[in-house]
Structure formats: C-alpha cells, structure tokens
Structure 1
Amino acid sequence: MTEFKIRRLGHHGDGIAEGPFYVPMTLPGEVVTGETDQQTLTGVRIVTPSDDRVSAPCRHFKSCGGCSLQHASDEFVAAWKVGIVRTALEAHDLETVFKPILTSPPNSRRRATFAAKRTKKGAMAGFYARGSDVVIEVPDCQLLHPELMTGLDAAKELALVGASRKAALAVTVTLAPNGLDVAVAMGKPLDGPLRQNLAELCDRLKLARLSWENEVIGTRKPPFQRFGKAEVLPPPGAFLQATQHGEASLLSAVREAIGNAANIADLFAGCGTFALPLAQTASVYAVESDAGMINAMDQGWRMTKGLKPLRVEARDLYRRPVLPDEMRKLDAIVLDPPRSGAERQVVEICKSLVPRIAYVSCNPVSFARDAQMLVKAGYSLDWVQVVDQFRWSAHVELAACFSISGKRPSDLNLTAF
C-alpha cells in the first residue's frame, strides 16, 4: 500500500492527494494508504486522522450517497463552505464582509427524491449508493424531516404498482402542511388500470397529492406552501427551498439587502418564495420562465388580503432579460437564478442604476463571475451571507448585497456589456 497525504477538499467534498487522486470521506492533513485506480484510491485506510474528523451521526453514511461530509466536524464544514465562496470571489479579485454562516439543523429537509425499485421479493426505496446505481435503504436517515421519512413507504408501494423491472422510479416527495406532495418520474406509461391503481394508492396512503410524469392523478388535500401571508399551490415537482430554516435565512438576508425599497423586481421568482413576503411592504414585479409557477404565485397573491400590487410575467430571462428602460422605477432587484447564474440579465442591470441588488445563488463560481460584472459597473459588494441548508453535503448557497451610489466609474465602457 502507498501512503498519500490529503492536501485539500474538492468542490464535491472528496479529499485530494498529490496526483491528483480523489479520496472520498477524507480530510485535509490526513495520511492515508490505498491502491491507485486511475484518479481514485481504493482500499483506503486512515493512517493519521485529522483533528476535525468525527464519528458520522448516521449509520448509513459509508454506503449512502446522500451525504458526503458527515465525517467532518460542523466547525470544519462551516469554514470550508465559507472558504469556497471566498476563493471564488478572490479568483475575480473581489473581497467583502462575510456574515457568520447559517446552517440548517439535522432532520429538517422537507424535500427529497427517492429511488424506488421492484425486487424479487417486493420493493425497496432509498438513495443511490456513493458513485453507483445501487439503491440503499435509509430507515434511520439523519437528514430528512421525520414526516418526510414516511415517503419511503409510499415510494415502495408506488414501485410495486408502477415501476418496470429495468429502472428505478424517481419519487420526489415534498412535505406540505397538510401532507406529502408526491411527484413520480421514470415509471410505466399511464394507462387505464395504472391510473386507477395509483388513484387508489393516493387515497389509501393519504397523500396530499400524487402526480405521475407531471400529470396529477389525485389530490386529497391541496398541498399548499406558505410564503409570507400567502398560501401557494405549486405545480407538481416545482422548486422549493430545501428546508424552512434555509428559506427563512435567505429571506431575511434578502430583506436586509433591499432595505426599505418600495418597488422591487424579483427575477427568477419561482412560486414566490421572496416575491410574496416582500409584497407585504412593497410593489413587486415577478418574472419566472415557468408559467405554472408564475400562475401559482399570482393565484396565491389574489387570494391573500393586505398585499401590495404584484405584477407577474412568464419570461425566459436567458433569452429575453429585463432591459434598463423596464427597470427605471425600481428601487431594488432580487436575483435568484439557477446554477448557471444570470450573466445576460446582469449585463442589463449593469446598464441601469437600480440602487440595491439582493443576489441569491446556489453556485459560488457563477455568482463570482456575475459579481465581478456588477462591481466593474460601479456596484459595491457589501456583504455575503453563506447559508448551509444542504447539511453534510458539498452544496453551498449564499445571499449577497450589492449597492450603488448612482455614480459610475469614469473608466467604465458601457459598450463592453
């Protein structure tokens, strides 16, 4: 066996030794032995453990691929995640103030996608094993909300009824105040008998809603989600922040970033995670490419008393970003784009003079690229709030505040944007 020293963690949470060789479940500074297999080590044994190594709280950790960092102390993970954002910004010569990281507690995930498959003796459901298509059952998962865990049994029954022998179902389960909202993909094509069996299952399992390949099979109780004062009925499988703690943390950061703005645009608005709470004190223009989510937000606003005006638009901001003349009356913008960021939209914001921007990101690399564009256009990156709602994973989320005095740098070339 050859000895290796772990130099750092990669963005997926794997230890990286000289080579490079990737070694899951290791930490910087640890000395390990193993056999090389292309760019990975096999048969790994820890010779010198890190002081930051802890016993994993979940008994499924070594086999399940749902978590990658349970072997590291909370303090280490927090510092590492902040470091990822800091490093991404430094690559663009950016510095800012970092607020203390906010981490969601264990057993708080309210949404998960289970793999469910038929077996010779019945069915099984869980998560895929690390780097594999093998399904691992996780009856003692320390990540998911206890009520969400009941979705595992539902996933098994759905597999018995609607899974083929060749592929596992993807069963997305979302915890709603009145039950489980279940959306299934990768199943058998719907026909009359399957539709009837699924409807019976929805009733027997007391699911709030069951959909199959985006078609609603049954709704016992509308699975509303609450955003501020409003109750919203999202389309099946619609985006939702992973934990209530994470959502509240991001919303608090967004409120601080936009201050007392009276006219706000919420771009990439989803079902209204930010737009509807902000409509309690400000007029909001909400833009989202998915018409179903936009309609759900609009309906939630219409059914809620006491909110200020909300104007919604289904619009692909990658192909047709909001232009400067449409931003003239805005006091603030909320940006919450997908992982690829909001480059084309940021180009147009750079041509405007919207005083404040709250940028929510799930990808520090694309965020840092967009942040550099904003700073070059005259904005100040005032602070960053890292939010760890995907506990024990390598996933990093953040909210950031940008502000502008109204004066542009004298050397700014607007034709470059």
Structure 2
Amino acid sequence: MRLTVDRLGHLGDGIAAGPEGAVFIPQVLPGEVVEGELSGDRLTEVRIVTPSSDRVRPPCAHARTCGGYMLQHASDGFVASWKQEIVKAALAGQGLSAPFRPIQVSPPRSRRRATLAGRKTKGGVLLGFHARASEMIVAVPGCQLLHPDLVAAFPALEALVKAGGSRTTELALTITRSAAGADIVVKGGKDLDANQLLELARIAESHAVARLSWNGEVVALRAVPVQRFDGATVTPPPGAFLQATAEGEAALLAAVSDAVAGAGRIADLFAGCGTFSLPLARGAEVHSVEGDREMVAALEKGWRQAAGLKLVTAEARDLFRRPMEPDELNRFDAVVVDPPRAGAEAQTERLAQSKVPVVAAVSCNPVTFARDARLLVEAGYRIDWVQVVDQFRWSPHVELAARFSKSTA
C-alpha cells in the first residue's frame, strides 16, 4: 500500500488517510510518500518512496530499534517547530493563544537521569532501553541521549543485574548523575541474603557508585550523591525527581526567575527538592510545598547549609487532596506551580480565585497545562508568554514554562 503522510501525531507517529480511516506510520515525516503492509491501523515494513527535505541521517546506530529515539530521523528545526506547535494546538483546543519565546533545546548526550531495563540471559546480561511498544530490551552502547557519565556506569549496572537479577524477571535500573558519582535505584531485583547484599556493596565500591538502593532499601553509600541548585547543595532521596538535563533545568529556572522577577514573597508549589525554591531564595522569601516528606526534608537541609539565601519555609502537603486556599495564596507576590503530568486542576482553581498577581507555570504535559491555563484566563489572568523547553531530545515529550499575570487593583 502506498500512502502520503499528512502529519505527525502527538506521540511522534506519522498519520495518513487510509481506506478505512487513519493509518499510523512510525519514523516518517509529513509530506513523505511511503509504502508498506497495512496491519489494522498501522503500516509495517515501511519503505520511504519520497523523503521529506527535513529527513536526516539518525546520529545513533540504535535509532530504528530503540524506543528512546523516535525522532532522530527529523531535522532539529523540524522537531523544534513541531514541539512548539504541539503546545499551540493544546492551547487552541481550549480557545487560547499566547506569545511564544524561542524554544530551548538540550544538546545530545546530556540526559543525566534515565531508567534502563536489565535481564540476565543464558550468555550474560542484557541492558538497555525497551524497543518502542515492546518488552524487548535493546542494548544501547554509545547512546547519544545519555550523558557520558551514565554510559560509563553501564558496567556497574550490568554487574548489578548479574548479581541480583534473573532470566525470568526484569529489573528497572534508574541511574542519576550526581556530583559524587552514579546514584542508582534498582527495582524488581531478587530478595537477597546477607552475603548477596555484601556483594552489591562490593560492586558499588569497585565501580565508584555513590549510592545504591535495592528494592526500596539503601544497601550501599560510598559518597553522598549531592545535586547543586544554583550553589545550594541538596541530597535528594533515592529516585527523587530531577529535571532530565542540566541545560533543561537551567532554561526552566531562567524562565521562572524572569516570570517572578521583583516578587518579595513566592510560593513554590510541587517544589520537589528545591529546583526553583533555593535559587529563587537569593532574591525573595520562599514558601515551598511538596507532598513527599523526604524531599521536603532534603530541601530544608539544603537551605540550612546554603549561604546567602533569604528565608525558605517548607511544608509537606498533598496539593491534590488539600490545595492551598485563596486566603493562603494571597500572602504571596507570585506563585510557581510545577505539577506532574496530571496537572494541578484543583490547585489552579484556587489560584484562579486568589489575588496573586503573577503565576509561573511549569508543565511536562501541554494538554493538562492548557486545561489549567483556561481556568486562570477565565478568572482574569492573561498569558504573557510561553517558553517551550526540549530536554527530552528526539522524543515526543514536551516541557514548558509560562507566565500568567493579572491586575489586582
């Protein structure tokens, strides 16, 4: 069957008009003429007949198989434009529009946090990422996504899989780059006896792993795996959220700092370990709210040990179940809100009822961002600008920051 690709869907697949409706085609670009075998609503065995001018040679040898490389066949300019359009389309779906700043893109080999899959095999160990929409593990030596320090830790991950994995189960190995070395969290491993736990500690020592957590328990701590937020040193709990790249974090922080410039008191909601709270405290008093008590403790300790920061108070609070109310919010000159992918509908409803003059919104989901943005706009806020940040290079994932403001006179 021969088809012409009309557009890309939000997950990165090409979409073409087939005989019985939409057909989804992997690793193609709009305008390309392709041939393949129709299987349900998907085209398989795809061959490019007429390539797009935006098609490029993927820089990574694993691009065709690894699920982390869905858009390596597209030029940087195309991907940047496409990601901006995803956010614009999400806003348009809510009847909104906004000025857009130029997109900020993280460079190749900059991911400082990733989760790999590992499994023992008859001949040794298989470590890598899943193939797209598959349980198959694809080994990724020379990965072009991950920071070289993470790639250098692959032997440690392989040793851990060999020591505590099995041929019937799969391990999830989350590795985070820290100032002291790799911070590794393993889930799905075998329950280990004392001798096996000593073997894990030996592996951590021999591979200079800073911290190793196994099935929820810290089993080795060679060095404190600190992260630095604009000079403030924080030790996140194992597996805690961290922006995917240092460059992406810097871009989001710059946008948030610009949005709340001049504010004397700031509330940082869904604050994590202090990604925004601690840098913002150089110029303002900050009240940080986060649902995870361990992250709150890490933030507070980071503030106490830092120099030159204004007052930071921290509160452990589930903002989904108990959002901050308008009378609480009205004490602040600006609010930063950085929720997970589900967005912050309940909290945004309270923000919309408040008198807070400026809201800096950070989001990893354009759809829930647009939904929450509509609540603010309907309450009298305007969208001053949107800043798209691409720190998940070559993937359909989109992050952004935006500034909302309204007159409180």
Decide: shared fold, TM above 0.5.
yes
Aligned to 2:124: 122
- In the TM superposition, what are the counterparts of 1:6-405 in structure 2 within 5 Å? 6-18=5-17, 19-405=21-407
Residues 114 and 155 in structure 1, CA contact (< 8 A), matched pair in contact too: no
CA offset at residue 229 of structure 1? 2.1
Tell me if the contact between 2:35 and 2:49 (Cα under 8 Å) persists in the aligned partners.
yes
- Is the contact between residue 8 and residue 30 of structure 2 (CA under 8 Å) also seen in structure 1? yes
- Unaligned runs of 5+ residues in structure 2 are none
Please give the secondary structure, in 2, of the residue aligned with 1:183: strand
CA contact (8 A) 1:268 1:336 kept: yes
Alignment partner of 2:71: what SS?
Answer: coil
Secondary structure at 2:393 match in 1: coil
8 Å contact from structure 1 (residues 125, 153) kept in 2 = no
Specify the SS of the correspondent of 2:81.
helix
Aligned-CA RMSD value:
0.9
Please give the alpha-carbon distance, in whole angstroms, between the structure 2 residues aligned to 1:352 and 1:318. Answer: 17
**How far apart, in 2, do the equivalents of 1:381 and 1:190 lie?**
53
SS at match of 2:228: strand
1:337-380 deviation per Cα after TM superposition (whole angstroms, max 9, x unaligned): 00010100001111111010100000000000100110010101
**How far apart, CA to CA, are the structure 2 residues paired with 1:247 and 1:52?**
28
Cα distance, 1:34 vs structure 2:
1.0
In the TM superposition, residue 198 of structure 1 has moved relative to its aligned partner by 0.9
Large movers: runs of 4+ above 6 Å: none
State the AA in 1 paired with 2:171: L
Distance 1:184 1:56 in 2: 31
Measure the CA separation in 1 of the matches of 2:367 and 2:31: 25
In the alignment, the residues of structure 1 paired with residue 193 and residue 309 of structure 2 have an alpha-carbon distance, to the nearest angstrom, of: 43
Gaps spanning 5+ residues in structure 1: where? 408-417
What one-letter code is carried by the residue in structure 1 that aligns with 2:322?
Answer: R
Residue deviations 1:113-149 (CA, integer Å, cap 9, x gap): 1111111111121111122111111111111111110
Q: Which deviations, in whole Å up to 9, do the C-alpha atoms of 1:302-344 show, x marking residues without a partner?
A: 1112211111011100000001111122000000000010100
Deviations along 1:168-211, one digit per CA (max 9) or x if unpaired, are 21111100112110110111123323211111111111101101
> In percent, how many aligned pairs have the same letter?
55
Equivalent residue for 1:413?
A: none
CA apart distance, 1:164: 2.0
SS of equivalent residue, structure 2 residue 102: strand
TM-score (norm 1): 0.96
> For 1:277 and 1:214, how far apart are their aligned partners in 2?
30
